[in-house]
Structure 1
Amino acid sequence: MIYFSGIGYKRLKQVLDIEAGKQQELTVVLAVEELGLQQVEILGRKGNSYKSDYTFGATKTATYLKDVPQAVSIVTKELMADRQVTKAWEVTKMMSGVNRYSNYNDIVIRGFRSGENQPRLINGLRAAFGYFDQPVTANLERVEVIKGPASALFGNAVPGGTINFVTKKPLAEKRSGLTFSAGSFNNLRAAADFTGPLAKDSTILFRLNAAYANAESFRDLQFSENFMLAPSFSFMPSRKTSINVDLVFSHNNSRIDRGQPVFGATASNDIFSTPISLAIAAPNDFYKVRNLQLNAGMTHEFSEQLSLNVSYMKFGWDEKLLEHRTSNIFAVDGQGKEIPTKVAMQVFDRIQRLSSDNINGFFRQKLEHGIFKHTILLGYDHVQQVRPQGSSQHVARGYRNASNTAVLSSFDPANPSAYLLDEVGNPVPNVAHFDLNNVQYPIRNTDGYLFSPTVFAPSKYMINAVYLQDQIVINKWQVLLGLRQEFYTDFSNYKLEGQTSVTQKALIPRIGMIYSVSPTINVYSTYTAGYQPQSPSTFTNPNNGGPFDPSTSNMIEAGAKGSFFSDRLAMNVSVYQIKQKNVLVTANDPVNPDLLRQRGAEQSSGFELEAVGNIMSNLSINANYAYNEAIITRGLATEVGLQKANAPKHLANLWIKYNFIQGQLSGLGFGAGLNHSSRRNTEVLRLQVPSYTSFDAAAYYTLDKLRLGLNFNNVFNKRYWIAGFNHTRIFPGEPRNMMVSITKQF
């Protein structure tokens, strides 16, 4: 008796009668396993297409994308490599309905911001990323965005969508590769990827990804240096048990780019009034971040119908910062009038740490009753994030008092005698204003500032949840039912005398339905809800003004998903409406620039088109278009009916690559694409960021296992901005630049 099995195929048992001295031939045909053998993603993906056929994140079990009743955008490692993407949020220009809100770890999905304190997932588990650092892509298999509220799966989640970073896993065959790149702005990069079996029977596999990048910028004083090391191991001690362990260490040394200032509103709203290179910083500023991530996943099959999946992730993050930055307002004169050429400044000197633990476990049971086929998940989630003792910051801002011994947060022209005044009667700032008419970058001596110390009280938030999900197949129909009961507890003064806690709970549903029009086309509809407890007073600046009421949301979506050209090309269309209540936004308070307020309600309605994969074996495409009307429906009278900040109505992205596979040009390839965004509002009503279209191009040459690549971005040197906050912070896109790379596979 012989057993035949393989990843993606059903196990086959074959009985043979063998006679001595006789040669026998045996033909074996393995049936395709609908969902493969992996339930936790243990082994790496062998495909090399822009198209990813499946997702684990959207249902917590291996599911083909066409069988998920919800839009999911995926960027694979192959597309990232062709575009020479090294920072995670560069993938936004390859996804439908996704764009940047700033230079930070801060994006917009279907018109809703996913920024500070919003969940980021790694392999479906919650991580504690900082607000200003982006993950590198060298160890990423793909980046997924699950559109709409995903609270029924992951707890508190933003209504626009949830981001999931999927790391590379070991392969059962030996592969290795080295990549070296260099380009504009003194950009230097190196990456290595090694994988293969450690045991002859392939029961132990390994993968090692490492990367180093050092780059300057078209922006004054900006630079970044990144290092990442990521070993991964997969263990398969038996056919029924598989285990994967990832360890990722990354270090980032840089400065925070707070954007380009333009002249104040009393002068003009002309964002072309200053060069895009202009940044507010000091040469002695720094931003240093370290991340350490341990991720382990295990699946065990008790039988073909019942399995157990358990995952755990420990994520540690620490930050050291010295930063001269804008106060988000302009200087004032002795009459209290804005001086539009001088930006008011503040200084942060900060040390802080965060750690998170995420445990997820679920049983998967397959059942059949007549025409009904069930895949049932019963699971439990535990998430906690802790800010320990020792996190603190010093802040210098405002104006000096008359005796030059203390600071007043803002200037009151009715009481000038309370302030230290200069020779012309203007208040003297605690930190010298940044003069847009006389830009200088001297080393700033912080000893002369009057700092206000803040010690962050140790804090913790904790999530405990149980969830039930059933994927039901009834002939051509599929139904997805999900229900999650979540308990959220927020601790302040954690483990100290005077500790307090607030507990909230929510019951979160998810309902989806799919109909198979043909073997290659599915249509679907879905309803899902979202829930976000608010805790900015605990986890961010205490001046924010919290605590706030929780934010709730819901989405209705319908669409169609199809596979064409012999399953090489996936095409999707979706129509949706998302509503959210109790939204946190900046209060635009001139006295307290950190103050937030809660807006009543917002609504996002639109549609998305997406095509990704291969039209021919040597013609790859990634194309999408999104129309989104994201408006404020309840709030201040001056804002109701307006399009939300940094939420364009129109987004379009295109990338096409063609490779010659025959003749004298064999091995040569070309790529070209564009990115378009319509104009966007900023957080200040009178300031807008204009629309733009930028074009990129690339050329490739492959000889045996050596590949040369040349990428040109913004070929026509379009001057554009990706987003904007206010007159002191708009975020320009890169001017024309290039990158050359050489990759050797062994």
Structure 2
Amino acid sequence: MARKRLLIATVSLPALLGCGHALAQETVTTTLDPINVQERVESAFGPVKGYVATKGSTGTKTDTPLIETPQSISVITRDQMEAQAVDSLNSALRYTPGATGNLYGTDNRGLGLQLRGISNASGVFYRDGLQLKESNFTLFTALDSYGAERYEVLRGPASVLYGQASPGGIINYVSKRPTEENLREVEFGGGSFNRYEGKFDFSGAVNSDKSLLFRLTGAAHMGDTQTDFVKDDRIFIAPAITWQPDADTSLTILANYQRDRSGWAMQYLPAYGAVIPGKDGKHLPNSMFVGEPGFDSYNNDQASIGYEFDHRFNETWQVRQHARYVHLTHTEEGVFGGGLTDSNGLEPSSGDYYRYADAGGTKLSGVTIDNQAQADFDTGPLAHTLLVGLDYKRYTYRDYASEGTVEDGFNVFDPVYGYKIGDLTPYTDTDTTQQQVGLYAQDQIKLGNWRLTLGGRQDWSDAKVYDNLAGGYIPEQKDNAFTSRAGLVYLADNGLAPYVSYSESFQPVAGADSDGICSCPRPADNTRSG
């Protein structure tokens, strides 16, 4: 933000009004050019200059300094991502404590996410504070990192603010938003495995009074991967518009579309040849592909549109409403290794490899909305930031999958491709509907160097699963839970901020798993963490 300061210089000049006359004063006023004084105030929802953020919204849903939040939070800023050449969530988490982005090596699906030792991506990924729900077969975690202003990683239970969430923590993808300053950025690059990419980022004001702002971010890349025959192509575009008719009101519309065309970069190789020397002392190359090039894909089309509405009534009260609609279509097919057919211990006499075929997909759509009211007031020596909210989410998705055999004869030490794939037999086909309503309240209290955060939430959730293969509904699952949170921080004069906290997690699991086995009805996962 810029402020203009006007400097006025006054000069006194003597004038001689004849011999013996008194000395008079003549005042001359000179107006100098304005001097622009640049003042940058960091916001929990905006860019960070450098690698260290001082504010974040994920831990409290308010614009709160990180040092005053009684929970462990890491912020991966845009500057840090640029310096480390981050191109995915996996690479963004490389230097984040308590987080692992990819447990499965060359896997390019966005799976393998681990927070605080919990190897489960369910209920982890959020965009701008609203959850991006996964299905049994695919996730939204592969959302292009170039569209992110920052990643905020909150470790530990967060159900008081977000409802169904992993007890290990959540990751919040904060989207790039329109800016008043003009931004014009275009990049081209290339890399290993015939990779070529282009990026652009444009932003600025549409009109002279800067009440209407825009931003258009896009990225595309194409190329191969470390694994033979596996492509990695993507198109990503994210338009955004902000309308701010006055200083107390703003409406931001955020949208994105992403198209991924890839295959199975993760291969299931036998230990014989991969870890220990194989036939005739041979080792399998890192690029080894054990599938069929004509039957190998992992494709996603995802899109979303949403808005963030903010209005301040007075110095005490302000309201916010954030909402989003998402849609995802996913298809996959591949041939996978099941083991060396003549294996006897660790020394099979040949490299004949048993393989099977699998194919499936997901069609998912959902809507989430979060209504918040915030009051900032004092009661005697105590300063309060009171937040109350009501949120709702509803997701519907269909998961389907089939499997079949592959003609025998493939040898990992002398690979030849083109074997016939047999007829595929469906083994799962379910339609799932999940919805949740949550009512929550939080009070952040300040007294001197002390910061106390108290919160509570009541959730009601239900899930319906229709098994298309069995021709009937799986018993409906209903869960409800009250979760609470308390945290106390002391802001020491030397810059340290020791804290103690207690929080609870609520994460019911719905329906059948990827093998078609029903996991319901089952109790909610109500996990406490201190």
What TM-score results when the alignment is normalised by the length of structure 1?
A: 0.61
Give the alignment of 1:172-183 within 5 angstroms. Answer: 172-183=180-191
SS in 2 for 1:112: coil
Give yes or no for the alignment of 1:450 onto 2:423. Answer: yes
Q: Distance in 2 between matches of 1:343 and 1:372?
A: 70
CA contact (8 A) 2:225 2:265 kept: no
Match of 1:664 in 2: none
Q: How far apart, in 1, do the equivalents of 2:237 and 2:349 lie?
A: 48
Give yes or no for contact 2:403–2:424 (8 Å, CA) kept in 1: yes
Q: Which whole-Å CA distance do the structure 1 matches of 2:431 and 2:349 have between them?
A: 40
Answer yes or no: is 1:384 the counterpart of 2:384: no
Q: State the AA in 2 paired with 1:503.
A: K
Q: Shift in Å at residue 380 of structure 1?
A: 0.9
Q: CA 1:136/1:443 → structure 2, altered by over 3 Å: closer, same or farther? A: farther
Following superposition, the deviation at residue 156 of structure 1 comes to 1.9
Equivalent of residue 355 in structure 2, options 345, 348, 362: 345
Structure 2 partner of 1:17 = none
Alpha-carbon offset, residue 159 of structure 1: 2.1
Which whole-Å CA distance do the structure 1 matches of 2:509 and 2:232 have between them? 32
The CA deviation at 1:331 is 3.5
Is 1:121 aligned with 2:126?
yes
Please tell me the residue identity of whatever aligns with 1:98: A
What's the CA shift string for 1:176-225, capped at 9, x where partnerless?
11011111111111000000001110111000001111121222222200
Structure 1 residues 184 and 268: alpha-carbon distance in aligned structure 2, compared to 1, 3 A threshold: closer
Q: Does 1:149 align with 2:157?
A: yes
SS of residue matched to 1:118: coil
Superposition pairs for residues 690-705 of structure 1, below 5 Å?
none
Equivalent residue, structure 2, for 1:80: 81
Unmatched segments (≥5 aa) in structure 2: 4-27
Partner SS, residue 458 of structure 1: strand
Match of 1:287 in 2: 298
Matches within 5 A, 1:318-717: 318-327=329-338, 330-331=340-341, 341-388=351-398, 392-397=400-405, 431-432=407-408, 434-440=410-416, 442-446=417-421, 449-454=422-427, 456-493=429-466, 498=473, 500-518=475-493, 520-535=495-510, 537=512, 540-543=514-517, 548-556=522-530
Indicate if the aligned counterparts of 2:212 and 2:243 stay in contact, CA closer than 8 A. yes
Look up the match of 2:25.
none
Query: What amino acid maps onto 1:352 in structure 2?
Result: T
CA distance in 1, matches of 2:56, 2:350: 51
The residue that corresponds to 1:93 in the other structure is 94
SS class of match (2:153): strand
Asked if the contact 1:299/1:308 (under 8 Å) is kept, the reply is yes
Aligned AA (1:435): N
- The match for 2:167 is 159
AA aligned opposite 2:186? L
Distance 1:276 1:395 in 2: 27
SS of 1:78's equivalent in the other structure is helix
Consecutive unaligned residues of structure 1, counting only runs of 5 or more, are: 1-5, 10-20, 398-429, 557-746
Q: Are the counterparts in 1 of residues 202 and 217 from structure 2 also a CA contact under 8 Å?
A: yes
Partner SS state of residue 93, structure 2: helix
Matched residue SS, 1:178? strand
What is the deviation of 1:131? 3.8
Return the offset for 1:536. Answer: 5.0
Question: In 2, are the aligned partners of 1:493 and 1:500 still within 8 Å (CA)?
Answer: no
CA distance in 1, matches of 2:201, 2:209: 22
Taking the aligned partners of 1:278 and 1:235, their CA distance within structure 2 comes to 52
Task: Tell me the equivalent position of 1:53.
Answer: 54
Question: Given residue 397 of structure 2, which amino acid in structure 1 is its aligned partner?
Answer: R
Change (3 A) 1:531 1:132: closer
Q: Contact between 2:477 and 2:510, CA under 8 Å: does it hold in 1?
A: no
Alpha-carbon separation, structure 2, partners of 1:489 and 1:227: 35
Q: CA deviation at 1:273?
A: 5.0
Cα shift readout 1:725-745 (whole Å, capped 9, x = no counterpart): xxxxxxxxxxxxxxxxxxxxx
Q: Residue 554 of structure 1: CA displacement? A: 2.4
Matched-pair contact (CA < 8 Å) for 1:159–1:553: yes
Q: Distance in 2 between matches of 1:29 and 1:333?
A: 74
Residue 136 of structure 1, CA deviation: 1.3
Residue identity (%): 20
What is the aligned partner in structure 2 of residue 140 from structure 1? Answer: 148
Letter in 2 for 1:111: G
Matched to 2:98, the amino acid is: G
Distance 1:31 1:275 in 2: 55
Are the equivalent residues in 2 in contact too, given 1:331–1:342 (CA < 8 A)? yes
Q: Flag the 1:86–1:201 CA change in 2: closer, same or farther, 3 A.
A: same
Deviation at 1:438, TM superposition (A): 2.7
Distance in 1 between the 2:323 and 2:231 partners?
A: 34
Secondary structure in 2 matching 1:303: coil
State the distance in 1 between where 2:123 and 2:49 align.
Answer: 31
**Per-residue displacement from partner, 1:83-118 (whole Å, max 9, x unpaired)?**
222122111212112222222322112211132x43
Structure 1 residues 450 and 545: CA distance shift in structure 2, 3 A: farther
Deviation at 1:154, TM superposition (A): 1.3
Q: Is the 8 A contact 2:268 2:337 kept in 1?
A: no
Q: Residue type of the partner of 2:257?
A: F
TM-score of the aligned structures, taking structure 2 as reference length: 0.84
Partner of 1:111: 117
> Does structure 1 residue 242 correspond to structure 2 residue 250?
yes
The one-character-per-residue Cα deviations of 1:123-174 (angstroms, maximum 9, x if unpaired) are 0101135249712111110111101111112122222221111110011011
Number of the residue aligned with 2:15: none
- AA in 1 matched with 2:157: P
Number of residue pairs matched by the alignment: 490
Q: Alpha-carbon deviation of 1:312?
A: 0.4
Distance 1:439 1:206, change over 3 A: same
Alignment of 1:166-205 (within 5 A): 166-205=174-213
Partners in 1 of 2:371 and 2:285 — Cα distance?
A: 52
Distance (whole Å) between structure 2 residues aligned to residue 90 and residue 474 of structure 1 = 40
**Per the alignment, in what secondary structure is the counterpart of residue 435 of structure 1?**
coil
- Matched with 2:6 is none
Q: Which residue identity lines up with residue 101 of structure 1 in the other structure?
A: L
Residue of structure 2 in register with 1:225 after alignment: 233
Matched letter for residue 252 of structure 2: N
Q: Go from structure 1 to structure 2 and tell me whether the alpha carbon gap of 1:170 and 1:218 turns closer, same or farther (over 3 Å shift).
A: same
Secondary structure (helix, strand or coil) at the match of 1:259 reads coil
- Contact 1:331 / 1:339 at 8 angstroms: preserved in 2? no
Higher relative contact order (CA 8 A, sep 6+): 1
Of 496-505 and 206-215, the range deviating more from structure 2: 496-505
Offset of 1:29 from its aligned partner? 10
Distance, in Å, in 2 between the alignment partners of 1:436 and 1:550 is 45
Secondary structure in structure 2 of the residue aligned to 1:312:
strand
Secondary structure class of the residue paired with 1:493: strand
1:655-690 per-position Cα deviation (integer Å, ceiling 9, x unaligned)? xxxxxxxxxxxxxxxxxxxxxxxxxxxxxxxxxxxx
